[in-house]
Amino acid sequence: MKKKTNAGLKIICLNRKASFNYFFEDIYEAGIVLKGSEIKSVRNGKVNIADSYAVEKDGEIFLINSHISSYKQASFSNHNPIDERKLLLNKKEINKLIGKMQREGFTLIPTKMYFKKGKAKVEIAVAKGKKQYDKRQAIKRRDWNRDKARYVRKSS
């Protein structure tokens, strides 16, 4: 039997720093509300979500500190590059996320932005911050795997 792949998935940007700095609990997919000049810039790949996070305001989830570069061809109707952008989630998902953020001390971190069937989506992880010793352990594991691969390559 043949495995299905996500043919309609086109990744725009990744947040590689997030997996190094946080432990992921759950992952959610959310739509994002964008203006016309923002979606044009996103299609060009001019997006950075490395330092961004999501917060709750009035029962809705907003993406803060994500940078979408201004679109050159848009004249007076251009957008603010660093702006709050509303995330589209179900009410149950929003309530679950708000509960985890308030009670258990988790935070919402975007891990990647992509197009799915022509719509811009953001993958959000419910995450808890790593301590310094956890980060050192990850570096040691990564270096050991690199050395192990090097030894295997030399021996064969």
How many CB atoms neighbour CB 132 within 10 A? 7
Mean pLDDT of the chain: 87
Number of domains in the chain: 1
pLDDT digits (tens, 9 = 90+) for 74-127: 777 788 788 899 999 999 999 999 988 888 878 999 999 999 998 999 999 999
CB contact at 8 A, 53 and 66: no
Domain holding 78, by residue range, is 9-130
35 in a structural domain: yes
Ramachandran area for residue 118 (φ above 0: left; ψ -120 to 50: alpha; else beta): left
Task: Using alpha carbons only, give the angle 19, 126, 114 rounded to the nearest 5 degrees.
Answer: 70
Task: Using alpha carbons only, give the angle 71, 40, 75 rounded to the nearest 5 degrees.
Answer: 35
* DSSP summary character for residue 82: B
29 in a structural domain: yes
154 in a structural domain: no
81 in a structural domain: yes
Answer whether residue 132 shows pLDDT above 90. no
CB contact at 8 A, 80 and 121: no
19 in a structural domain: yes
CATH of the domain at 106: 2.40.280.10
Answer whether residue 4 shows pLDDT above 60. no
152 in a structural domain: no
4 in a structural domain: no
Answer whether residue 7 shows pLDDT above 80. no
44 in a structural domain: yes
pLDDT digits (tens, 9 = 90+) for 137-153: 888 999 999 999 999 99
The predicted pLDDT at position 6 comes to: 64
Which distant-in-sequence residues (6+ apart) come within 8 Å of 81 by Cβ?
Answer: 67, 68, 69, 70
User: Per-residue pLDDT averaged across 127-132, rounded?
Assistant: 86
Find the helix or strand (DSSP H, E) in which 39 lies: helix 36-43
Using a pLDDT cut of 70, give the percent of the chain over it: 95
Whether the full predicted model's pTM is greater than 0.85, yes or no, is no
